[in-house]
Amino acid sequence: MTELKPCPFCGGEARTTIVRSTIPGYFRISHDAYCMKCNTEQRGAETEAEAITAWNERATPSADLTGWVSWDEIVRQEADRLGYNVDDWDSINGFCLFLLHKIELKTLHRQAMAESTEVESE
């Protein structure tokens, strides 16, 4: 059996899995390949061999990425826009802290909203 290439997005180890799906009156067994690190999936192949081939073909860097946006590029652009230099360790460290702070604030805001809704409904 051909081996799965590492994830094209994060380099993580990939696996295959059998998926059993049902809708009223029907069922389907398909084979998915997925990244164990970031959960990127290649879904719906008829056989495990096809799932591996589909995964490995997507992992080929020469794949046509017209219309796709690179995460690396977006992170780099956002860091640039906010005045952080992603090539400088201290600066990228600051950018990461900024992102974590933003996430934390959103979480706190969400918790506060949930609590105020709970109080209102009592």
CA–CA dist 5, 40 (Å, integer): 13
Tokens of 72: 């690396």
CA–CA dist 3, 83 (Å, integer): 42
Choice from 4, 7, 33, 45 touching Zn ion (CB under 5 A): 7
Site for Zn ion in 40-69 (CB under 5 A): 40
Choice from 2, 21, 29, 38 touching Zn ion (CB under 5 A): 38
Tell whether residue 6 is a contact of Zn ion (CB under 5 A). Answer: no
Question: Could you tell me where the beta strands, DSSP code E, fall in the chain?
Answer: 14-23, 26-35, 41-45
Number of shown-chain residues binding Zn ion (CB under 5 A): 8
Name the site residues for Zn ion (rule: CB under 5 A). 7, 9-10, 12, 35, 37-38, 40
